Amino acid sequence: MEILPQVQEVLAYVKSVNVTHIENKLLASRALYEELAPLAGEEEAVFAVENKTIALTGRAINIRIYRPDDKKRLPVLVFFHGGGFFKGSLDSHDRPLRQLANLSGVVVISVDYRLAPEYPFPHGLNDCIDATQWIMQHAAELDIDSRYIAVAGDSAGGTLATTVAGKLKDLACQILIYPLTGCTLDTPSWRAFAEGPVLTLEKGIELWEYYTEDRIRAAPIFNDDLSGMPDAFIITAEYDPLRDEGMAYAEKLRHANVQVTEKLYPKMIHGFVQMGGVIDQGKEAITAIAAYIRYKLLP
């Protein structure tokens, strides 16, 4: 395994983050994840950024809306952040989503779903489904084009995105960034990169323990009916334990006659798309995602 200099720089930064003052393991992990936000680069200016709350029966879901310009009725990308289902926030992914809105020219809406273990499966998933449905139903209020709505997510967010895509009809496409699609933790890539970098087997076991005991129901790759799913763009990283399950899911979608665009980034690590301020391939991936969005969403 060849660790590129830019990746070495990222790994050194991660190692330098000190959260030892937080005794609770879960809270420390969440705090460390938030501290990685600067790896995405500077906070780009966007034409308009708005925080909004979706009021539902018995709960509320916070969303953040990024508008790249003042054009009316733009298409929308609904984004679900990664973090192993138990960490991450609107802020953890704010910088790459600003970049994505500017590069794609569409409205990007980030969803602050409930996290495990306080809210195990399917609470967070239900938030993602309900938020996307609400966005579709309130297109006029949001001044967006309901004909062109896509979903996306990275890592665990990719799991949520593709599950939402299977539940809701008429989505334009799904963009899955090194998605967590299986749950066996026993593919060749899980064995090869059990010690990381970044995502380790220990962390993989931990996230599933936090998220659910019903792994099979929560893992998209075990869905036997993928017919009618929207077109997919799937990004994987060579040095990522999730590589093989992401590629296997892409193949399963193809067998269900779903049009799949797939891109493997050589020598890249899990999370690299959030690290575009340091890793050039992270920037390139966001540019590629933006190009796919323009192709699929802009009429």
Residue 30: CATH number of its domain: 3.40.50.1820
pLDDT number for residue 299? 74
| Position 246 pLDDT exceeds 90 | yes
pLDDT of 285 above 90: yes
Using pLDDT thresholds of 50, 70 and 90, give the confidence band for residue 72.
very high
Domain range spanning residue 66? 5-297
Looking at the annotation, which residues are catalytic? Answer: 155, 240, 270
- Mean pLDDT, range 157-178, rounded to an integer: 97
Q: Which two tokens stand for residue 259?
A: 């049009």
**pLDDT, tens only, 134-160:** 999 999 999 999 999 999 999 999 999
Mean pLDDT over the full length of the chain = 97
Measured at the CA of 247, the angle between CA 241 and CA 251, to 5 degrees, comes to 155
Omega within 30 of 0 (cis) for the link into 117: yes
Residue 26 has pLDDT above 90, yes or no: yes
For 69, 97, 234, the CA distances from 259, given in Å and listed in that order, are 30, 25, 11
- The total domain count for the chain is 1
Q: Are 34 and 83 in contact (CB under 8 A)?
A: no
pLDDT average, residue stretch 213-219? 94
**SS3 track for 162-223:** HHHHHHCCCCCEEEEECCCCCCCCCCHHHHHCCCCCCCCHHHHHHHHHHHCCCHHHHCHHHC
